[in-house]
Amino acid sequence: MQEPPSPEEKKAAQREYHRLRMARTRVLESSVLEAQRPECRRLSEELTALLAARRERRHQQRQQELQHSSPIDVGDSRGLQGNAGAITTPISALLDKFAQAVELKNEMLLQHQELKKAVGVHYVREAKVDGFAREMLALNESSRVNDKKNQRNRQRLLQPDAQAQHPNLAGYWTRFTENEEPFYYEPVSISTCREFIRAVYPSLLNHHQYFVRGEQSPEAIDFFGWKLQSFQSFTAGDQQVHFHFSKSFPTVDSAALVAYISGQAWEIFSTPELYEKLYRTHIVMQVLQRVDHFTNVALVNTPSTDHSLQRRCLLLACQVADVDDNGQQSLGTLMIAVNPQPAMLESSADVQFIRDTHMYLLLHPRVDEYGYEYVEMTFGGHGNQPSEAYAQYVFIEIAFALFRFEQQVLPQNLVTSSEWSEAQADTTGD
């Protein structure tokens, strides 16, 4: 009679069985993975080709956008005979290199994002292959349950994310503040915006010319380094405030300085975070539509003493290029109030929209009688306010925003004590 195996013999047999079982499992797993390698290699090559085609297509689209996007040509200010042709902004070689560097940086960031997406897709596909192999090697019920859970997780990862609708392609729902009802915004076409700007621009130019050449225009006063002209008029139950700030900046290259200030102004007026920092009071700006590189539609509230957001304005902001009487190209940034859409009026009954208001920032390159170049900067406009006291408050807020804009954009030349002493010595010697 055969004796039963001892505990040591049982353990040795179990170890041998486990060793053989694991060896068979490794052989089977290696064969399955080796069979899947050609498929993974093929998928990787297809992914590389798709990424190369996508980069080429995106590069062509960006080149086309840069060719067709330019500041709106409002034509000759004396006759406004121009059309929508692009006007090349004179700019120095240094600024041109800076623009090319910024474009290269943006292109590298886009490529980096695309590479991250491609790596993520590659990891998902690798996980899919690995999961398939593990499902074939399942040996018990618990492993099959775990494989089903992993499969559900992989399916959830492979589902595409919902893409938000681009404002320029279709309308979308949005809200100005969290405690208000959302409203549906309908985008405006580029042609409609440009036709409206060309129709309104002559009145803005006449407003500017009234203060510059008008015989009955208010007398200019010194206002913290600026020349200020302003007056108020009472019409149709509203207090209209008209203002006109002007200042000259000496420079060695007036065209380059005009292009620089215009670019900085557009960046501030089209970026909510930068625009809101100009004012002391609570200002909220929401860009509803970026029509093109030089035209935006934004919803913004006006300054108020109680920091409320009830008085608002739907603004059409744009950059324009014009030719002055001396044949010099001037650049401007316009912010024109337009009528709000019906959905905006229905979102909140307490909101009051301002319709008759505008602001403009004009930059003119000049040469004085001695041949020195300088830039003439003008900030003007008008707006309707409910009372004289409120109009004065808004005027102070606008002036404060202008001073802060000047500090952010233009370099401040500080006078040192030695320079002050030299200047006083020269004055005393004279």
Instruction: Please say which residue of 126, 157, 188 terminates a domain.
Output: 157
Indicate whether 62 belongs to any domain. yes
CATH of the domain at 247: 3.30.530.20
Indicate whether 122 belongs to any domain. yes
Q: What residue numbers bound the domain in which 76 lies? A: 7-157
Note whether 132 and 275 are same-domain residues. Answer: no
Other C-beta atoms closer than 10 Å to the C-beta of 348 total: 18
Q: CB–CB of 263/353 below 8 Å?
A: no
* pTM higher than the cut 0.75: no
Q: Which residues, in sequence order, are CB contacts of 430 under 8 Å at separation 6+?
A: none
Q: CB–CB of 232/388 below 8 Å?
A: yes
On the CB side of 325, CA atoms within 13 Å amount to 3
The Cα–Cα gap between 405 and 399 comes to 10
3 state DSSP class of 354: coil
pLDDT at 181: 84
Note whether 114 and 146 are same-domain residues. Answer: yes
pLDDT per residue as tens digits for the range 90-112: 456 666 676 777 777 778 878 77
Note whether 180 and 78 are same-domain residues. Answer: no
The Cα–Cα gap between 49 and 123 comes to 17
Instruction: Output the six-digit token pair for 270.
Output: 């089209």
Indicate whether 427 belongs to any domain. no
pLDDT tens, N- to C-terminus, the chain (430 residues): 556 778 888 888 888 888 888 888 888 888 878 877 787 777 777 777 777 887 788 778 777 766 665 666 666 545 444 443 444 444 566 666 767 777 777 788 787 777 777 777 666 666 655 554 454 454 444 444 444 544 444 343 333 333 233 344 578 898 888 888 888 899 999 999 999 999 999 999 999 999 998 777 788 899 989 999 998 877 656 678 899 999 999 988 889 999 999 999 999 999 999 999 999 888 899 999 999 999 999 999 888 777 777 888 999 999 999 987 777 889 999 999 999 888 888 777 778 888 889 999 999 999 988 889 999 999 999 888 877 888 888 889 999 999 999 998 886 654 444 444 554 555 455 4
Note whether 351 and 205 are same-domain residues. Answer: yes
Q: Taking Cα atoms as reference points, which of 326, 406, 313 lies closest to residue 373?
A: 326
Note whether 203 and 180 are same-domain residues. Answer: yes
Looking at the structure of the chain, the number of domains it has is 2
Indicate whether 27 belongs to any domain. yes
pLDDT at 58: 79
DSSP per position, 188-215: --HHHHHHHHHHHHHHHHHHHHHHHH-T
Instruction: Please say which residue of 96, 127, 157 terminates a domain.
Output: 157
